[in-house]
Structure 1
Amino acid sequence: MPSSPPAPRVQTDASAELRAIALRMFAEHGYTATSLQQIADAAGYSKSSVLYHFRSKEALLEEALAPAVQTLGVLLDSTVARASSDELRSAFVVEFVDLLLEHRLAAHIIINQGQTLSDIPMMDEARRYIDCIGESFMSELPTTKQRVRLGIALAGAAYVLVASRPSAADIESIDEVREALVDVVSELIAGLNR
């Protein structure tokens, strides 16, 4: 009886797999406490394979954070205008909450490790975006109450998602959390025009 042919190996994008594993490990253990060897071991690759795809641990972090930072830049470009517009507010809140949920681990790293990783260009870019939104609060919202309201809404939503351990990345009821965040952020910023 002839032997069956081996099952075809599922092709995976090693770079994408390494970025995802590194992002999780950097969020869970911290960037400085995570080595390339640990990432390689978790992914089932050799360290040289990791270095084949990424020239350094910093390059791996940068590429892992890039999608979140780029999306953040696009979203925050018109935050105050969209958040204070009755017509645009709902769409903005949904986009903001979805950004946080989709890039939860990156947000965790940026928020919790941003100060200690300030020499990494992608981290600096993320922090510049966050600074820009803060500056736009100050210049575009006329009252302290409005600035505080928007700041608490956005920062509070981010904090809720990054305050828990990153290994809890699989939120039990993502739809319930998403709905609650959209409702609460919407309520908080509804008064920006008052």
Structure 2
Amino acid sequence: MATIDHLRSVALDEFSRAGYLGTSVARIAELAGVSKSSVLYHYASKEALLDAAIGPALDGIEQILERVRRGAIDDSFVEEFVDFLLRYRLEVNIFINQRRSLVDVPVIERANALVVRLAQYFGESSTSVEDRMRFGIALGGAAYCLATAEDFSPDPHSDEQVRGALIDILSELLTPVHTQRD
């Protein structure tokens, strides 16, 4: 019998590859090696499975937002955001690539609201259009880069190289935001 974590992992992978709308509970069951009724025993619906699959990532971004709300925009914020992107690559992929087609799905609405909150914070704390655009390009670009890469890190050392590069680039792009807060 598949474990709840295994079902969630299989669903996450399939949702990111085939799309939420293109994935059925039967397909998840097949990939997990269980019956459809077994999947539905653990998760009442495909929507509940999506919520379980991307919910932990949303909890993670809420923690980052709490630090942002307290004014903690510094190098540790950049590192935490990059680590978040690397850890939740598939979840970010689902959100970035499917959010417009899933507007009525509660977990996607929650994700949209979190992104809006992050953007509002930076919009309110930036004094220029350039700084607001720099923020959007930096954080949104980093997320998009990782979320849309088919196989971004083919070797085990690549994630560390990608992490270092993203931290350096984001730090450079967000420097005007940092200096405003100091």
TM-score, L = length of structure 2: 0.91
Question: Whole-Å Cα distance in 2 between the matches of residues 117 and 186 of structure 1?
Answer: 32
Question: Whole-Å Cα distance in 2 between the matches of residues 188 and 115 of structure 1?
Answer: 27
Deviation at 1:170, TM superposition (A): 5.1
2:2/2:32 contact within 8 Å kept: no
Structure 1 range deviating more: 125-134 or 140-149: 140-149
| Structure 1 counterpart SS, 2:174 | helix
1:104/1:169 contact within 8 Å kept: no
Deviation at 1:120, TM superposition (A): 1.2
> Paired residue for 1:3?
none
Question: Whole-Å Cα distance in 2 between the matches of residues 146 and 185 of structure 1?
Answer: 13
Question: Whole-Å Cα distance in 2 between the matches of residues 143 and 169 of structure 1?
Answer: 34
> Counterparts in 2 of 1:129-140, with a 5 A limit?
129-140=114-125
2:72 aligned residue (75, 82, 95): 82
- For 1:119, the aligned partner's letter is D
> Counterparts in 2 of 1:110-121, with a 5 A limit?
110-121=95-106
> Paired residue for 1:86?
none
2:28 aligned residue (16, 21, 39): 39
Percent identity between matched residues is: 40
Deviation at 1:139, TM superposition (A): 1.5
> Paired residue for 1:23?
12
Gaps of 5+ in 2: none
2:103/2:109 contact within 8 Å kept: yes
> Counterparts in 2 of 1:82-101, with a 5 A limit?
82-83=72-73, 89-101=74-86
TM-score, L = length of structure 1: 0.85
Gaps of 5+ in 1: 1-11, 84-88
| Structure 2 counterpart SS, 1:122 | helix
| Structure 2 counterpart SS, 1:32 | coil
> Paired residue for 1:185?
170
Alignment of 1:148 with 2:128, yes or no, is no
> Counterparts in 2 of 1:51-62, with a 5 A limit?
51-62=40-51
Larger radius of gyration: 1
Structure 1 16/44 Cα, relative in aligned 2: closer, same or farther at 3 Å? Answer: same
1:104/1:161 contact within 8 Å kept: yes
Deviation at 1:122, TM superposition (A): 1.0
2:2/2:33 contact within 8 Å kept: no
> Paired residue for 2:142?
157
> Paired residue for 1:66?
55
RMSD of aligned residue pairs (Cα, Å)? 1.6
Structure 1 141/171 Cα, relative in aligned 2: closer, same or farther at 3 Å? Answer: farther
Question: Whole-Å Cα distance in 2 between the matches of residues 152 and 79 of structure 1?
Answer: 18
Structure 1 133/171 Cα, relative in aligned 2: closer, same or farther at 3 Å? Answer: farther
2:57/2:88 contact within 8 Å kept: yes
